[in-house]
């Protein structure tokens, strides 16, 4: 499974990252805003799960499902 | 021997205390930072003022060291020369704090006050939210010289009301929600209004830790498109999302409550801003635009911000196009989340123009040269702020309420109108005045854009200049410059000009002038009486058509000094007790205060303001 967190380290990003860490989920991070814009991302955090881009609420739900 | 030593070192402080005791009010007693937000002249405010000159000296030495380190000693000398010759002004040099901030409260939801050095954990219910919110505002304000904005305040309050009383609380607004055994039975509405009262009165309390000044507190209201643009990816700690329907209700109710409460007390804060999106022709959310007009007609006084782009407001989490203009960030008001100014340095335009003419120099070129220097000064100031951050001194930043790269380094403008008058330009909507505006503002705008990096943003603001307007006029007059009035204007029009009508003012604060002002200006439309809702609707449409992004209407309120009666109209006699011992409340430069609390110089300026009847022009 390929998981990438798109983050600017804003407070919401920090919360999502903490949830991922708390559940011992392995992921990479991308902090490059230009890359995010090219992907059509307009706000962060976004979690890419095998190519599916999840906004904050869906990302948190997905993390919960992994428990 | 001791007498000589102590006289030499401390006599000036004793003399200051004597002058402060004799001053007519606190703002007048302040010799370096007169400010009507200091409501009381007392021992605490006297103490706060006592060593301000020493703090200015300390700040200047910090800057000289940093400019020398980053650039060269000659530029450090030039910085001080420019300050001492009043070509330039550094705002709030009497403190070592960053200037102003619009925070995200998200860390507060998860950590309470612990990140700010407090003990309270994350709020869990409405009661703990309200109590901790007050403490949070004071804690954040303790680390900034100027305004603290909490644009998310009502959205978070709505969340905690829904948590405690259900998502349908607005439908049970008039139902009793207290337990049967409680002696003081309260409806949902009573309960929420009690919370409004607790928060607003607490934050308006002059704070001992701020030299007996209350916090300069701003909040924002959002229409539906701005709400969605700002908060569509927002999630609360229980994974729920904000609710537009209940938030819209709560926003309206707070405005109504606050307007009514100001008949009981002249409550200065919060300074409110309604954010309304337009499509270039009209307001997108007509319900909220109509409500804003209704509130103006009911005598409420607040700012309206309007733009045709949701991206014009700063957001904590929204990614912005780097080619895009700066987001709105005015130091007096609230707009977006996670923005503000780290520091402000203001150019005295009247002096710059007169010096350029005297020297036969090109004015735009002189502006460019000045901006180049100001950018370097601001970069040095930014480095000082970063030093404080890296040393762990800026707890608000460390705790995630704001980040350094989200805030601007701001170039202020003052003496703009007076510089134009010196050149013989008529201060009205005419091509020559707009060309003058372009000549002054475009070079700054271009330089700001060119200097932007991932971590540094510059913007330009027509600063409110509450006391700077008076200071610059005084200093310039003493130095022999042409000074047409004792207080430089805070607007693009002359406040005393009876021939400049309401529509002219919107044109002057419209796109032709403000397109190069990437930090904003605030049109204060002074009216002698309130208009109808329909009239306000028409004027608000004018704001869209002229591209005037930020405005308010300002009608003096009357306060009876004998019986305490407050009216939202300007009266000559108290309708309740008949007394003619009256005071008036108006916006000194953005925030509502009794005129008697203004400095004496600002009282003179206030007395000259022209209040438009608004009738014929609308």
Please write the tens of the pLDDT for every residue from B94-109.
889 999 999 999 999 9
Assign residue A57 the CATH number of its domain: 3.40.30.10
Which structure tokens are listed for B197? Answer: 């009262």
Residue of A nearest to B241 (CA): A57
* 3-class DSSP state of B593: strand
Q: State the maximum Cα–Cα separation within chain A, in Å, rounded to a whole number.
A: 33
Residue A40 touches partner B, C-beta closer than 8 Å: no
Please compute the mean of the pLDDT values over residues B354-359 and round it to a whole number. 98
The structure tokens 């960053």 sit at B98
Which positions ≥6 away from B124 have C-beta within 8 Å? none
Task: Pick the closest to residue B120 from B138, B98, B147 (CA basis).
Answer: B138
Task: Pick the closest to residue B521 from B556, B487, B493 (CA basis).
Answer: B493
Q: ipTM value, please give it.
A: 0.89
Domain encompassing residue A60:
3-65
DSSP result, B460-491: EEE---TTHHHHHHHHHHHTT---SSSS--SS
Q: Does residue B562 or residue B322 have the better pLDDT?
A: B562
Residue A37 touches partner B, C-beta closer than 8 Å: yes
Count structural domains, chain A.
1
Work out the angle at residue B217's Cα, subtended by the Cα atoms of residues B518 and B154, and round it to the nearest 5 degrees.
95
Residue of A nearest to B242 (CA): A57
Residue of B nearest to A61 (CA): B239
Task: Pick the closest to residue B503 from B548, B533, B461 (CA basis).
Answer: B548
Cβ contact (<8 Å) for B106 and A36?
A: no
Phi-psi region of B554 (alpha: psi -120 to 50; beta: other; left: phi over 0): beta
Residue of B nearest to A35 (CA): B319
Which positions ≥6 away from A56 have C-beta within 8 Å? A12, A16, A45, B233, B234, B235
Q: How many angstroms separate the CA atoms of B301 and B292, rounded?
A: 10
* 3-class DSSP state of B176: strand
Instruction: Give the confidence band of B38 by pLDDT, cuts at 50, 70, 90.
Output: low
Residue A39 touches partner B, C-beta closer than 8 Å: no
Residue A41 touches partner B, C-beta closer than 8 Å: yes
Instruction: Give the confidence band of B618 by pLDDT, cuts at 50, 70, 90.
Output: very low
Residue B569 has pLDDT above 70, yes or no: yes
**Residue B503: HSE in the Cβ half-sphere, 13 Å Cα cutoff:** 9
Contacts of B233 in chain A (CB under 8 A): 12, 43-45, 55-57
Give the closest-approach CA distance of B240 to chain A in angstroms: 8
Residue A24 touches partner B, C-beta closer than 8 Å: no
Instruction: Give the confidence band of B323 by pLDDT, cuts at 50, 70, 90.
Output: low
How many other CB atoms are found less than 10 A from the CB of residue B6?
11
pLDDT of residue B321: 55
DSSP annotation of B206: P
* b/e burial code for range B405-422 (CB count within 10 A of at least 16 → b): ebbbbbbbbbbbbbbbbb
User: Could you read off the pLDDT of B60-88 as tens digits, one per residue?
Assistant: 999 999 999 999 999 999 999 999 999 99
Cβ contact (<8 Å) for A60 and B317?
A: no
Nearest Cβ partner of A56 from B235, B318, B322? B235
């Amino acid at each position: 499974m390929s998981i990438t967190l798109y983050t600017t380290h804003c407070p919401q990003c920090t919360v999502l990252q903490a949830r991922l860490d708390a559940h011992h989920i392995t992921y990479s991070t991308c902090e490059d805003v230009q890359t995010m814009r090219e992907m059509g991302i307009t706000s962060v955090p976004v979690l890419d799960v095998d190519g599916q881009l999840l906004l904050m609420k869906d990302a948190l739900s997905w993390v919960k499902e992994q428990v | 021997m001791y007498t000589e030593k102590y006289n030499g070192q401390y006599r000036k402080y004793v003399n200051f205390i004597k002058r402060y005791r004799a001053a007519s009010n606190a703002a007048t007693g302040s010799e370096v930072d007169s400010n009507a937000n200091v409501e009381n002249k007392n021992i605490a405010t006297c103490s706060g003022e006592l060593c301000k000159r020493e703090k200015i000296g300390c700040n200047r030495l910090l800057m000289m060291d940093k400019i020398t380190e980053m650039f060269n000693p000659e530029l450090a000398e030039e910085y001080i020369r420019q300050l001492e010759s009043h070509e330039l002004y550094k705002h709030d040099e009497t403190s070592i704090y960053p200037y102003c901030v619009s925070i995200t409260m998200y860390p507060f939801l998860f950590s309470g006050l612990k990140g700010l050095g407090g003990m309270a954990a994350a709020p869990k219910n409405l009661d703990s939210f309200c109590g901790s919110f007050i403490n949070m505002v004071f804690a954040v304000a303790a680390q900034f010289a100027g305004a603290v904005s909490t644009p998310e305040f009502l959205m978070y309050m709505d969340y905690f009301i829904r948590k405690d009383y259900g998502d349908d609380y607005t439908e049970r607004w008039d139902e009793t929600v207290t337990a049967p055994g409680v002696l003081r039975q309260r409806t949902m509405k009573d309960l929420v209004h009690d919370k409004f009262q607790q928060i607003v009165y607490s934050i308006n309390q002059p704070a001992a830790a701020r030299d007996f000044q209350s916090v300069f507190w701003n909040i924002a209201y959002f229409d539906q498109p701005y709400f969605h643009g700002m908060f569509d990816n927002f999630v609360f700690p229980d994974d729920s999302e904000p609710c537009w329907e209940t938030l819209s209700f709560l926003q309206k109710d707070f405005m109504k409550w606050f307007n009514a409460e100001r008949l009981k007390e002249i409550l200065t804060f919060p300074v409110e801003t309604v954010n309304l999106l337009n499509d270039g022709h009209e307001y997108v959310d007509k319900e909220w635009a109509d409500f804003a007009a209704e509130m103006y007609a009911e005598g409420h006084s607040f700012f309206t911000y309007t733009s045709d782009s949701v991206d014009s407001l700063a957001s904590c989490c929204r990614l912005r196009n780097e080619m895009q203009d700066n987001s709105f960030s005015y130091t007096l008001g609230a707009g977006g989340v996670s923005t503000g100014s780290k520091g402000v340095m203001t150019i005295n335009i009247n002096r710059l123009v007169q010096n350029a003419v005297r020297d036969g120099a090109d004015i735009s070129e002189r502006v460019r040269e000045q901006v180049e220097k100001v950018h370097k000064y601001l970069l040095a100031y930014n480095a000082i702020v970063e030093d404080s951050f890296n040393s762990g001194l800026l707890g608000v930043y460390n705790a995630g309420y704001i980040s350094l790269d989200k805030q601007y380094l701001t170039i202020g403008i003052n003496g703009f109108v007076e510089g134009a008058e010196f050149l013989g330009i008529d201060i009205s909507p005419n091509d020559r005045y707009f060309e003058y505006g372009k000549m002054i503002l475009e070079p700054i705008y271009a330089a700001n854009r060119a200097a932007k990096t991932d971590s540094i943003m510059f913007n330009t603001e027509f600063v409110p200049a509450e006391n700077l307007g008076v200071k610059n006029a005084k200093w310039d007059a003493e130095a022999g410059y042409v000074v047409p009035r004792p207080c430089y204007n805070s607007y693009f029009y002359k406040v005393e000009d009876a021939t400049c009508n309401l529509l002219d003012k919107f044109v002057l604060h419209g796109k032709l002038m403000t397109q190069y002002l990437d930090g904003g200006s605030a049109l204060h439309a002074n009216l002698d009486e309130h208009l109808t809702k329909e009239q306000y609707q028409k004027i608000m449409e004018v704001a869209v058509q002229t591209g005037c992004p930020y405005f308010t209407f300002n009608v003096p309120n009357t306060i009876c000094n004998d019986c305490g009666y407050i009216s939202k109209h300007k009266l000559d006699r108290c309708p309740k007790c008949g007394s003619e011992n009256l005071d008036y409340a108006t916006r000194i430069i953005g925030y509502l205060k009794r005129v008697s609390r203004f400095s004496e110089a600002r009282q003179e300026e206030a007395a000259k303001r022209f209040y438009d009847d608004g009738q014929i022009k609308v």
